[in-house]
Structure 1
Amino acid sequence: MAHDGVVEAIQTLSNQGTSGDAVETLIKTVEDYPFYKSVGFGGLPNAEGILEMDAAYMEGDTFQIGAVAGITDVKNPISVARKLSQDKFNSFRVGDGASKYAMLEGFERKNMLTKRAHRIWEKRLKEIHENNLNPYDGHDTVGAITLDKQGSMTAGTSSSGLFMKKPGRVGDSPLSGSGFYVDSEIGGAAATGLGEDLMKGCLSYEIVRLMGEGLTPQQACDQAVYSFHDKLTKRYGKCGAFSLVAMNNQGQWGVATNVEFTFSVGNHLETPQIFIANMGDNHTTNIQPITQEWLDAYEKRIKAPID
């Protein structure tokens, strides 16, 4: 989902853009693409058919954070979050307050609910009613960490949240320490998955903390994610899907996940590449490049006609 954005972000960095510019560019690319059902334009709505979006932005040099939750009819929530990070007070806005702020600050207004997404919502509503199904089907976030030539790091997230969520529901994506965290002297992390379970562990902060103690990004991801997966399963009785990506201030990266998870990585020396990760044995992660066959099937699936 983030691959085209990663390509754009690397171009931004190569043109002397900051890590903040790169994160915003990357996430806006995802927000603008109508076939991603869990972020921005084309995202799936809540139980009442309203598309509520969450986003966050954090600078690793200063720890400035801006975030929005439940924002509606705004083209790029990540840009609103970045603007809010400049404010000492009121830097996290929700619901009508977030939407009004965006309007007053001149951000582009747009009906973000596409006909395709509305049709998916109608179909799901019918299936729930006729078959007494669990309404919750699908949750995903674009999360990104960037590092620029000056050594500055930035993290960002954007999501339309859990499909068919109750109005006003907010997941982990805009919450510091859960959905994201970054410290330019150490590194950053970002999460995707079931927010209600991710926020129980504050895993993004924990990964950065572990990197600060000397662990590599991969070691930090494996230790934080799988230890918490086991703990939550034991004490809560179950554990939802979650996946985390991380990068340190040297550009080394890591990933851990308890479901099949794809992600994209690139820099000025290596062409951006998409990988697929799965939980391995003994708190490890299996990571392999995707195949063209996998990518073709993915493209076909997300663009398939809705009956």
Structure 2
Amino acid sequence: MFNRRKFLKLSAVTASVTALSKYNTVKAADLVAAPNLPIVISTWDFGIQANKEAWKTLSKGGRALDAVEAGVKIPEADMKNHTVGRAGYPDRDGRVTLDACIMDEFGNCGSVAAMEDIAHPITVARLVMEKTPHVMLVGDGASQFAVEQGIKREKLLTPESEKEWKKWLLKAEYSPKMNIENAQHRPGGKYNHDTIGMLAIDAKGNISGACTTSGMAFKLHGRVGDSPIIGAGLYVDNEVGGATSTGVGEEVIRNVGSFLVVELMRQGYSPEDACKEAVNRIIKKKPTTAKEIQVGFLAINKKGEYGAYAIQEGFSFAVCDSKSQDTLIPGKSFYKDEKK
């Protein structure tokens, strides 16, 4: 039986203490059941700056859709971020391909996958939503559409990314790593893969979400993970809430993870408990695989209550509202909880 908590309960992740110390962190007792709206939440520590950009729109009474697009464009443009956007590591053929999706309060959605030569896939995803009768465009078709909409092509493979790719070619070994997202900002950090997923509720109580990534470093050309797939990497139901995911996308796709989390919240689960149940289903189906990978979910319900849960410890998420613009929260995890 699930526990319909009215208050979020968050435990500190020991392994993340150093990384979290420069931000405002919160204790369980400091979290109220329904934060003041508007509010925006997003995955990982780079969500801090993304949230601040989104807050510029939300704090002025703007629409959540505009906020999430503006917010995730920050990591998309960050030249130090090798898991999202234009500075992302390439696939095994040396080609940078980007994925993104966006969803608004009316159930409208747009997506691009395996798109090359366009720096901001989230903007193209929104254009797909608003300018076409389709949901998803992929590959050359997505890039062509972006150019038709007035977006310039540009070379995305940076000298740094190209150097790392050539280094990888010496052995050409690929294996998804878990909890290496925080290593990307450290000299000598391991190759990494991840995404930013963002969910926002505006002053009118409407919910929107966005998700964008450069995918797994040195992946097979044409590989697409969960990030641009509505229902997997992102899902929003304005009557219930929204959810987004992070980590190895294949397992999220197999479980239609974000849709599952929202449907669990519809049944009465709290955001954290819904995320936990989605993680548990992945582990139950593939227990051996789950030991070697990271998958995390982040969710928010219509009241503004939020929560997260991951397979491995080390996952964190950022929160921004009228009380604080730089809060980073360590998420709970299956293997951390199992050790207790």
**What interval of TM-score do these two structures reach, taking the shorter chain for normalisation?**
0.7 to 0.9
- Matching of residue 134 in structure 1 with residue 178 in structure 2: no
* CA shift digits 1:122-150 (9 cap, x unpaired): 11112x15xxx436553201111111011
Output the amino acid matched with 2:299: A
* CA shift for structure 1 position 222: 1.3
Q: Distance in 1 between matches of 2:241 and 2:298?
A: 11
Q: Distance in 1 between matches of 2:175 and 2:300?
A: 35
- Matching of residue 11 in structure 1 with residue 50 in structure 2: no
CA contact (8 A) 2:51 2:325 kept: no
Identify which of 106, 111, 115 aligns with 1:62: 106
Q: Which runs of 5+ in 2 are unaligned?
A: 1-45, 177-190
RMSD: 2.1
Give the SS at the match of 2:254: coil
Q: Report the number of matched residues.
A: 280
- Matching of residue 232 in structure 1 with residue 300 in structure 2: no
Identify which of 188, 200, 215 aligns with 1:161: 215
- Matching of residue 192 in structure 1 with residue 192 in structure 2: no
The residue that corresponds to 1:144 in the other structure is: 198
TM, length-normalised to structure 2 = 0.77
Structure 2 CA distance for partners of 1:102 and 1:284, relative to 1, 3 Å: farther
Higher relative contact order (CA 8 A, sep 6+): 2
Identify which of 25, 28, 40 aligns with 2:73: 28
The residue that corresponds to 2:10 in the other structure is: none
Identify which of 258, 267, 272 aligns with 2:311: 258
- Matching of residue 243 in structure 1 with residue 288 in structure 2: no
Q: Distance in 2 between matches of 1:284 and 1:58?
A: 35
Q: Judge which range, 161-170 or 106-115, deviates more.
A: 106-115
- Matching of residue 95 in structure 1 with residue 139 in structure 2: yes
Output the amino acid matched with 1:145: L
Structure 2 CA distance for partners of 1:162 and 1:282, relative to 1, 3 Å: closer
Give the SS at the match of 1:110: coil
Give the SS at the match of 1:222: helix
Output the amino acid matched with 1:202: V
* CA shift digits 1:88-135 (9 cap, x unpaired): 523310000000000000123322221111111111112x15xxx436
Q: Distance in 1 between matches of 2:79 and 2:164?
A: 13
CA contact (8 A) 2:69 2:122 kept: yes
- Matching of residue 78 in structure 1 with residue 118 in structure 2: no
The residue that corresponds to 1:275 in the other structure is: 329
Q: Which runs of 5+ in 1 are unaligned?
A: 287-307
Give the SS at the match of 2:200: strand
Percent sequence identity over matched residues? 32
CA contact (8 A) 1:188 1:247 kept: yes
Identify which of 66, 85, 95 aligns with 1:40: 85
* CA shift for structure 1 position 153: 0.7
Give the SS at the match of 1:274: strand
Give the SS at the match of 1:41: helix
CA contact (8 A) 2:64 2:206 kept: yes
Structure 2 CA distance for partners of 1:91 and 1:203, relative to 1, 3 Å: closer
Output the amino acid matched with 2:107: F
* CA shift digits 1:240-276 (9 cap, x unpaired): 3211111111111110111221221111233331122
* CA shift for structure 1 position 228: 2.6
The residue that corresponds to 2:40 in the other structure is: none
